[in-house]
Protein backbone atom coordinates (compact mmCIF):
# COMPACT_ATOMS: atom_id res chain seq x y z
CA UNK A 1 0.00 0.00 0.00
CA UNK A 2 2.15 2.76 -1.29
CA UNK A 3 -0.63 5.29 -1.85
CA UNK A 4 -3.67 6.66 -0.11
CA UNK A 5 -6.77 8.52 -1.16
CA UNK A 6 -8.38 8.35 -4.57
CA UNK A 7 -5.69 6.22 -6.20
CA UNK A 8 -5.88 3.62 -3.45
CA UNK A 9 -9.66 3.40 -3.66
CA UNK A 10 -9.53 3.21 -7.46
CA UNK A 11 -7.00 0.38 -7.20
CA UNK A 12 -9.23 -1.50 -4.79
CA UNK A 13 -12.22 -1.13 -7.11
CA UNK A 14 -10.10 -2.33 -10.02
CA UNK A 15 -8.95 -5.32 -7.98
CA UNK A 16 -12.53 -6.20 -7.09
CA UNK A 17 -13.64 -6.03 -10.72
CA UNK A 18 -10.66 -8.08 -11.90
CA UNK A 19 -11.10 -10.78 -9.27
CA UNK A 20 -14.81 -11.11 -9.97
CA UNK A 21 -14.17 -11.21 -13.73
CA UNK A 22 -11.70 -14.10 -13.52
CA UNK A 23 -13.63 -16.05 -10.87
CA UNK A 24 -15.38 -18.34 -13.40
CA UNK A 25 -12.02 -19.29 -14.92
CA UNK A 26 -10.92 -21.10 -11.76
CA UNK A 27 -13.94 -23.34 -11.27
CA UNK A 28 -11.87 -26.51 -11.48
CA UNK A 29 -8.79 -25.37 -9.63
CA UNK A 30 -8.84 -22.42 -7.25
CA UNK A 31 -12.37 -21.09 -7.47
CA UNK A 32 -12.92 -19.55 -4.04
CA UNK A 33 -9.51 -17.85 -4.01
CA UNK A 34 -10.52 -15.05 -6.37
CA UNK A 35 -13.73 -14.42 -4.45
CA UNK A 36 -11.75 -14.21 -1.22
CA UNK A 37 -9.35 -11.74 -2.86
CA UNK A 38 -12.30 -9.63 -4.01
CA UNK A 39 -13.63 -9.65 -0.45
CA UNK A 40 -10.19 -8.60 0.84
CA UNK A 41 -10.08 -5.70 -1.62
CA UNK A 42 -13.53 -4.68 -0.39
CA UNK A 43 -12.32 -4.74 3.21
CA UNK A 44 -9.34 -2.55 2.27
CA UNK A 45 -11.66 -0.20 0.38
CA UNK A 46 -13.80 0.32 3.50
CA UNK A 47 -10.89 0.66 5.94
CA UNK A 48 -10.69 4.08 7.58
CA UNK A 49 -7.24 4.20 9.14
CA UNK A 50 -4.96 3.83 6.14
CA UNK A 51 -1.23 4.29 6.50
CA UNK A 52 1.26 3.93 3.72
CA UNK A 53 4.39 1.81 3.91
CA UNK A 54 6.70 4.73 4.74
CA UNK A 55 4.61 5.74 7.76
CA UNK A 56 4.71 2.22 9.18
CA UNK A 57 8.47 1.94 8.67
CA UNK A 58 9.07 5.39 10.20
CA UNK A 59 7.19 4.33 13.31
CA UNK A 60 9.43 1.22 13.54
CA UNK A 61 6.48 -1.16 13.56
CA UNK A 62 8.08 -3.47 11.01
CA UNK A 63 11.44 -5.12 11.40
CA UNK A 64 13.18 -5.18 8.07
CA UNK A 65 16.20 -7.40 7.45
CA UNK A 66 18.30 -4.61 5.93
CA UNK A 67 18.08 -2.07 8.77
Write out the chain's pLDDT in tens, 67 residues.
556 778 888 999 999 999 999 888 877 777 788 899 999 999 888 887 677 777 767 776 556 676 5
pLDDT of residue 20: 92
SS3 call for 6:
helix
Per-residue model confidence (pLDDT) at position 44: 85
The predicted pLDDT at position 36 comes to 92
Which pLDDT belongs to residue 14? 95
Cβ atoms of residues 42 and 16 within 8 Å = yes
Q: Residue 20: exposed, middle, or buried by beta-carbon count in 10 A (0-12, 13-18, 19+)?
A: middle
Amino acid sequence: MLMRGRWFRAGCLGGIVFCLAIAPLGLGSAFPATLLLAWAFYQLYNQDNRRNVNEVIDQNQVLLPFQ
